[in-house]
Structure 1
Amino acid sequence: MKLKTYLIIAFSLSVVSIIGFSLISLLISDQKIIQFDRTIINSVQGMETPLLTYVMKFFTYIGSAPFVIVLSLFLLFFLYKVLHHRLELILFVAAIVGSAILNGILKNFFQRVRPEFHRLIEIEGYSFPSGHAMNAFTVYVIISFLLWRHITSGLGRWTLIIVSMVMILAIGISRIYLGVHYPSDIIGGYFASGFWLTTAIFFFQYYQEKRYNKKQQREKNIS
């Protein structure tokens, strides 16, 4: 796939993400999404069982900052030592750190209070957008992006995509189930992370292509 195609896709997804996030934030500000949130919360929390609560607590832990930090350190080692990535490490770190910073800025800007309907765990801080949703989306999408070209089989690639999607959705749903986020917090988190990731990947691909072209030009001049 040519650079132009990559950049068009990344730019398009970035625009879709920022529009989606803007719409969600406007609906929240105008109190026009409350019924949607309550309906989804009632449906998700209506499935409550002791076993499912344990499973949801497990997924919410996977999306927590401490787990993401440990997972990121392991992946940095894997990318560097096993796959011999160099520049990709910069993209990975920028994606993770940038997502966390963006989440903090957005939460303090919107200052949405967490739901009080039926909490199964206690947590402080603002609600929108969900930090767990942004963590999950950022980590598993960037992993898929970096590992995709190293997987040659169609089955392997589909497995990577499906596992990533399941993890992203499960972590998001766990926050609704446990009563600490509105569904719109989760959706907003996905959109915010999507915007940040596609923007980072856009500039990464652009830089990679320019770097490759300069290298080719130097080799051509030498020969």
Structure 2
Amino acid sequence: MESEDGWSVRGLARQLYDLVRQNKRLVVASACAIVFLALLEDVMTVESMKLDRAAYWLIVQHLRTPMLTPIMESFSALATPVTLLALLVAVAAFAPGRRPGWCCAVNLGLVVLINQVLKFIIQRPRPDGFRLAAATGFSFPSGHSMVAMAFFGLLAWFVWRYEKDRRQRALLLIAFAFIIFMVGLSRVYLGVHYASDVIGGFCLSIIWLALYTRLAVPLFLGNEDRPLG
């Protein structure tokens, strides 16, 4: 369908597609910001969210089993300080040069700082009455979820950008995505976070990664920061 001045639906769709493709970071970050702000508004004004009630019904009431609990505890442990420190050492040891290790360390440290500042400002109490793990501090946004998305998400970005073997790249990306998802799921399963805490943490870290990979990573990697050829 085309008008007299040459305008067409197909042409407009093509222009919109090209615009989105050229600004992928901005589009993803904007979508996550909308979700995060919507969750934050409900957290600050609503005592009980439908999302959290639905997640509690599905995950806590219907998925909890004695066999699954140790598995969820193991996934949750992947975002603890000891594990992340060990992973940082591994990145520093096996990545070429010192720059990737420092890049990951600064990324992780800043995300933890952002999370703690936001928790102190928002001060949402944690779920109570159905915890399977000990947890202190406030609830929104989930620190484990933010850390998992920021740390493993940055590793996934490195793999996507620099790994030339397509099969290995795909397998690693799937593995990192699975770990991030399971860390978030485990926090709801263990009863130490609401689902909105987890989703909010994921969204905030995606926004952070969009900025960090655009502004900070080139400073660390210099001329090494280039697309796969």
Residues 62, 206 of structure 1: alpha-carbon distance in 2 compared, 3 angstrom cutoff: closer
Residues 55, 206 of structure 1: alpha-carbon distance in 2 compared, 3 angstrom cutoff: closer
Larger CA deviation: 117-126 vs 164-173: 117-126
- Give me the identity figure in percent: 26
1:146 to 158, 164, 170: 158
1:107-154 Cα deviation digits (max 9, x unpaired): 101100001141111211100000100111011111111233442222
Residues 160, 6 of structure 1: alpha-carbon distance in 2 compared, 3 angstrom cutoff: farther
Letter matched to residue 49 of structure 2: I
1:73 to 59, 67, 89: 89
Residues 203, 106 of structure 1: alpha-carbon distance in 2 compared, 3 angstrom cutoff: same
Aligned residue for 1:219? none
Aligned residue for 2:97? 84
Number of aligned residues: 204
Aligned residue for 1:58? 74
Letter matched to residue 181 of structure 2: L
SS in 1 for 2:191: coil
Aligned residue for 2:124? 112
Letter matched to residue 52 of structure 1: L
Residues 43, 17 of structure 1: alpha-carbon distance in 2 compared, 3 angstrom cutoff: same
Larger CA deviation: 54-63 vs 6-15: 6-15
User: Does structure 2 retain, via aligned residues, the 8 Å contact 1:140–1:168?
Assistant: yes
* TM-score normalised over the length of structure 2: 0.81
Letter matched to residue 14 of structure 1: A
* TM-score normalised over the length of structure 1: 0.83
The structure whose RCO (Cα within 8 Å, separation 6+) is larger is 1
Letter matched to residue 71 of structure 2: V
Higher helix share: 1
Aligned residue for 1:176? 188
Structure 2 unaligned blocks of 5 or more: 1-18, 224-229
TM-superposed deviation, 1:7: 7.7
2:198 to 186, 195, 199: 186
User: Does structure 1 retain, via aligned residues, the 8 Å contact 2:145–2:184?
Assistant: yes
- In the alignment, the residues of structure 2 paired with residue 6 and residue 205 of structure 1 have an alpha-carbon distance, to the nearest angstrom, of 21
TM-superposed deviation, 1:19: 2.2
Aligned residue for 1:14? 29
Larger CA deviation: 49-58 vs 90-99: 90-99
SS in 2 for 1:55: helix
- In the alignment, the residues of structure 2 paired with residue 155 and residue 142 of structure 1 have an alpha-carbon distance, to the nearest angstrom, of 19
- In the alignment, the residues of structure 1 paired with residue 35 and residue 160 of structure 2 have an alpha-carbon distance, to the nearest angstrom, of 26
TM-superposed deviation, 1:158: 1.2
